[in-house]
Amino acid sequence: MMSLNELWFVLIAVLFIGFFFLEGFDFGVGMETQILAKNDTERRILINSIGPFWDGNEVWLITAAGAMFAAFPEWYATLFSGFYIPFVFALLALIARGVAFEFRGKRDSVAWKKTWDVCIFFGSFLPPFLLAVVFASFIKGLPIDGDMQMYASFTDIVNVYTVVAGVTVVLLCLVHGLMFTTLRTVGDLQARARKMAQRLLLPLGALLLAFVVMTYYMTDIFEQRGLVLMIIVALGIIAFILSGYFMTKKKDGYAFGMTGAVIALSVTSIFVGLFPRVMISSIDQAFNLTITNAASGHYSLKVMTIVALTILPFVLGYQIWSYFVFHKRVHEKEHLEY
């Protein structure tokens, strides 16, 4: 049977998968406000398309961090102390983005709106980039000593491998967001979103392929979980090809599902490659943080499991209900509050 340590590792992985899938299209739409939108009306339509969802989607990240803190405190401590600066920038970007959504429509001033629009763009670009850099560093390995302390230099975190991961995730979120826009808008904006997504597929495919090849040669996760990862990569390729096929057929819902599947499979591959490790030491394999040496006590994990299983169905039910209530497309003639 699955141990509680393994169960919480899986639950944290699921939370991060949910975050990147859901917040991924939010980030994409946020970037679209500067890349796709031609005027203020289209920017307001794009922002309104994610208005009911973006704050709820961010809860997945908060919950994942909270679960990590409670279930694997040593992982949490090493991670957040070692990546303090990237996380501060990501948090500031998320705060600026949230404030911008609420404030940009409070004054009828071009300069005022442009300022907040810049915050929305960078608040949508920086978090996925920085989080991808962090996750890529996980699987590449970091200088962690026997006391579970991480002493990483700038190049340990920011290097060719992690930057490629960051750019890939940003572009993947943009394509995912474009497909969400096709589901939530109509007319010319919808058509341009679909066309831009199709144009970005080729560079996105090249980046995904490059990252997989670099991962094969620059990390040990294929040595650890080669067969499973090969299956995940194959499924990812199929999902990617199908996303392009559905785009050409204007089956936007299926295309959105396939871009989401690529995101979900990408995050899954990281956790599969790590298991049973949670952070890899580049100094000595004996210093790896694992689901055993980084975990809370058995009683704490047991209580957390009972609470999670009790509350989780209500949380998921509420979020599914909110998506159902706000599923209609956003039209230009409707009241635009942002």
pLDDT tens across 183-240, in order?
Answer: 999 999 999 999 999 999 999 999 999 999 999 999 999 999 989 999 999 999 999 9
Length of the chain: 338
User: For the chain, where are the alpha helices, taking DSSP H only?
Assistant: 4-35, 40-50, 54-71, 73-82, 84-103, 110-140, 154-157, 160-184, 187-218, 221-248, 252-274, 298-325
The answer to which of 9-13, 58-62, 274-278 has the lowest mean pLDDT is: 58-62
Percent of the chain with pLDDT over 70: 97
Residues 6+ apart with CB under 8 A from 133: 86, 157, 158, 162, 163, 165, 166
pLDDT digits (tens, 9 = 90+) for 323-334: 777 767 776 655
Predicted confidence (pLDDT) per residue in 154-194, tens digit: 999 999 999 999 999 999 999 999 999 999 999 999 999 99
Those residues whose C-beta lies under 8 Å from the C-beta of residue 210, and which sit 6 or more positions away, are 164, 168
Cβ atoms of 250 and 186 closer than 8 Å: no
pLDDT, averaged across the chain: 92
pLDDT tens figures, 237-293 = 999 999 999 999 999 999 999 999 999 999 999 999 999 999 999 999 999 999 999
The tens digit of pLDDT for each residue in 43-53 reads 999 999 998 88
- How many whole angstroms separate alpha carbon 241 and alpha carbon 196? 16
The reported pLDDT for the residue numbered 14 is 94
Nearest-angstrom CA–CA distance, 278 and 338 = 41
Split at pLDDT 50, 70, 90, the class of 335 is very low
Tens-digit pLDDT profile for residues 106-158: 888 889 999 999 999 999 999 999 999 999 998 999 999 999 999 989 999 99
Cα–Cα distance, 287 to 88 (Å, whole number): 26
Cα distance between residue 231 and residue 229, in whole Å: 5
